Structure 1
Amino acid sequence: MTHNQDHRAEAARQWACSTLGVSDAGWAPASADASFRRYFRLQSARGSAIVMDAPPAQEDCGPFLAVAARLQAAGLSVPPVLGQDLDRGFLLLGDLGTHTWLQGMPRAPEAALAWFATATAALVQAQRHIDPAGLPAYDAGLLTRELQLFPDWFVGRHLGRRFTAAESALWDTVCERLLANALAQPRVFVHRDFMPRNLMVSDPNPGILDFQDAVCGPISYDVISLFKDAFLSWPQTLVDQGLAVYWRQARAAGLPVAAALHDFVLQAERMGTQRHLKVLGIFARIRYRDGKPAYLDDAPRFIAYLRARAAVDAQMAPLGALLDQLGLAP
């Protein structure tokens, strides 16, 4: 921890205590994420609260507050905002507890499926009741910038090479097909990182975190993020069952998912491929730019996801050929 971080942590603690009107409080790190944000847990006679430290030079608390209000208005469980100092980048939030779904959900697929049905019901509720107007558009420009993270950071920085002309042609074909798939889908509220690590075991369940990057985008994005997790892999049979549960819930709620389950699953899996390529680039960037190497340890999981799809989806065959050329084994 740098001296500046020490100073910010102490300033955040003093501000939170003053906001709550307490003088004696326990203070400990709660969590950190892939951004510059940090979270602390404040324990006092008034109970437990979470302090978000988001340095204004790197982070903007505005989107967090705006999206939290949308989720709360839709009847979903998010941390209540107890206080804010946007000039310094401090938020005081209600504490949804210490157990994420990543920690708490059962690993047996049959038991996990019931948990997933609860998560997809919450997702359908968000998609049905939140008007995404005014959120950033998950458009061709943003999708393309995300995909470019893979050649720039994972291939260029992590693998230490550039695409050959033949590899560039394969990559261009993959990107064209993934963009067409994403842009053809109906647009809804997209959390953008809807996975067990960002869901809390709480009442009501789940509590939803890390929603500040929400956008208006493809309807399949969040549900495939839930099942093709960054930190936990599930058998494809469970993924297929879970996607079917979501599809039935979405149809019953009147959401504009594809009329045929097979078509929806194909859209979702291709959407997942775009996300996995992006995440590989992000994890490499976090490693080499931000000095956080642990995220890249999960790269084999994403390569396995990509390999599995390239093996069964003819549209993604060029991706399989590219991974071969890059020497990225399953």
Structure 2
Amino acid sequence: MIPPAGAADFLSVQGWGGAVLIPVAGDASFRRYFRAVQGGRNAILMDAPPPHEDPRPFIAVAQWLAERGFAAPAIHGVDLDQGLVLIEDFGDQRMRETLDAEPARTRQLYETAIDILVRLRGHAPSDVPPYDKAVLLREANLLTEWYCPAVGIAPDTAGYTAAWDAVFDVAVEGPQVTVLRDYHAENLMLIDMNGSEALGLLDFQDALAGHPAYDLVSLLQDARRDVAPDLEAEMLARYRDITGADERFDAAYHVLGAQRNAKIIGIFTRLWRRDGKTRYPTLCPRVWGYLEHDLAHPALAPVKAWFDINIPAERRGDPMALSA
């Protein structure tokens, strides 16, 4: 990970001249991250190179969240022409590794994460695009566009579209919230906030205005770690008890769960086939498990019928292994 050519000059302008840049683990995008270390202070340099990346949505949502008391990184400096952003360093203590090391904290940390979503529900959405049926369908189509060809299946795409169209109404109705879209244990950081432990938010640059159940799915059907079914049920009950969510909300949760998991299977397949990232297809069996759980809900009957006909059980799994 070689720092971008303009990093040194950018850091100098921001008052961080001479800072040492240390690569930080990134995500599945073109974005790269470096820890800037200068004396006794740290910051994170985000390299979001145009035209592949645009940091403006991240900046806007970060500021919107911070203004409402959520723990989003402060923005220290920006150069949009180079796609460089200097942001607050939340450290390395992710919720994911904390749970692995201290399983006794599982309920407490998930309750904290649920309560953040309850608070988000209390705010009108930020100025972001809508998470409407067209976006939901475009994302769900990633499964037929990438996974199906990878495992040798020629699917009924018209039937797929019709099945999703029959179930999406419940997923777009009602009050909208700012949907962070990648709200899970690897994007939640344990930080100090005003002397107390809090969960810091990351990776929200793709936020949209949509149904509040979506981020619950991101958290409780985590593609990168197993979430026990009893924990999922307990946290859903906590959210319902606080917010008064009803059966329509439960239906939306499973519809959005199925949609998100179908999307993720397609994305993880694409990351392997197009980008050569072989870690991601190995996560697909877990995601298939979540997807099948969601498809069992009565609200998904048309979509379940399509999957039963088009993708038999033995073709559901790691696309890299199934294509061998």
| TM-score between both structures, scaled by the size of structure 2 | 0.88
- CA shift digits 1:96-151 (9 cap, x unpaired): 1111111112588774122111011112222213x325311101111111111110
- SS across alignment from 2:191: coil
Contact 1:74 1:126 in 2 (8 A): no
Q: Which amino acid aligns with 1:325?
A: P
The answer (yes or no) to whether the contact 2:36–2:43 under 8 Å persists in 1 is yes
Counterpart-to-counterpart distance in 2, 1:86 and 1:139:
29
Whether 2:148 is the aligned partner of 1:161: answer no
Residues of 1 paired with 2:239 and 2:289: CA distance?
A: 24
SS at structure 1 position matched to 2:168:
helix
In the alignment, is the contact (CA less than 8 A) between 1:181 and 1:271 conserved in 2?
A: no
What is the rounded CA distance, in whole Å, between the counterparts of 1:44 and 1:237 in structure 2?
A: 46
Instruction: Report 1:188-207 matches (<5 A).
Output: 188-204=177-193, 205-207=198-200
Corresponding residue for residue 254 of structure 1: none
- The residue that corresponds to 1:26 in the other structure is 20
Q: Which amino acid aligns with 2:305?
A: P
Going by fraction, where is helix more abundant, 1 or 2? 1
Match of 1:255 in 2: none
Q: Which residues of 2 match residues 231-246 of structure 1 at below 5 A? A: 231-246=224-239
How far the C-alpha of 1:292 sits from its partner, in A, is 2.0
Gap change, CA 1:325 and 1:21, over 3 Å in 2: closer
2:167 is aligned with 1:187: no
Q: Which among 80, 101, 123 is matched to residue 117 of structure 2?
A: 123
Seen in structure 2, the aligned counterparts of structure 1 residues 178 and 291 have a Cα distance that, compared at 3 Å, is farther
RMSD: 2.3
Q: What is the aligned-residue identity percentage?
A: 33
Instruction: Indicate which of 247, 250, 260 corresponds to 1:275.
Output: 260
Q: CA deviation at 1:245?
A: 0.9
Residue 59 (structure 2) pairs with residue 65 (structure 1) = yes
SS at match of 1:142: helix
Q: Deviations over 1:141-168 (max 9, x none)?
A: 1111111111001112x224321x5x75
Partner of 1:214: 207
TM-score by length of 1: 0.86
The alignment partner of 2:113 has SS state of helix
- Counterpart Cα distance in 2 of 1:94 and 1:107: 25
Cross-structure match for 1:145: 138
Distance in 2 (alpha carbons) for counterparts of 1:305 and 1:63: 30
Deviations 1:150-198 (A, max 9, x none): 1001112x224321x5x753x2453124422312343211101111111
Give ranges in structure 2 of 5+ residues lacking alignment. Answer: 318-324
Provide the C-alpha distance between the structure 2 equivalents of 1:274 and 1:109, rounded to a whole number of angstroms.
29
* C-alpha spacing 1:106/1:185, structure 2 compared with 1 (3 Å): farther
- In the alignment, structure 1 residue 327 sits paired with structure 2 residue 281: no
* Change in CA separation of 1:26 and 1:266 when aligned onto 2, cut-off 3 Å: same
In 2, distance between residues paired with 1:194 and 1:72?
16
1:244-280 residue CA offsets vs partner (Å, 9 max, x unmatched): 11222334xxxxxx3x3x4433321221111000111
Partners of 1:291 and 1:185 in 2: how far apart? 40
User: Structure 2: how far apart are the matches of 1:323 and 1:95?
Assistant: 46
Aligned to 2:76: 82
Matched, 1:9 2:4: yes
Residue of structure 2 equivalent to 1:55: 49
Which has the higher mean CA deviation after the structures are superposed, 67-76 or 289-298?
A: 289-298
State how far apart, in whole Å, the 1-side matches of 2:291 and 2:306 are.
8
Partner residue, 2:216: 223
Which runs of no fewer than 5 residues in structure 1 stay unpaired?
A: 252-257
Relative to 1, partners in 2 of residues 1:249 and 1:319: Cα closer, same or farther, differing over 3 Å? farther
Are positions 1:305 and 2:299 aligned together? no
Contact 1:140 1:179 in 2 (8 A): yes
Q: Aligned equivalents of 1:109 and 1:307: distance in 2?
A: 26
Contact map agreement 2:57 2:205 (CA 8 A) in 1:
yes
Q: Is residue 178–residue 271 contact of structure 1 (8 Å, CA) maintained in 2?
A: no
Deviations 1:52-73 (A, max 9, x none): 0001110111101110111001
Contact 1:13 1:27 in 2 (8 A): no
**Cα distance in 2 between the residues matched to 1:30 and 1:65:** 19
Distance, in Å, in 2 between the alignment partners of 1:322 and 1:18 is 60
Tell me the distance in 2 between the aligned counterparts of 1:89 and 1:200.
Answer: 24
The aligned counterpart of 2:322 is none
Tell whether the 8 Å contact from 2:61 to 2:126 is kept in structure 1 after alignment: no
Q: Distance in 2 between matches of 1:31 and 1:228?
A: 23
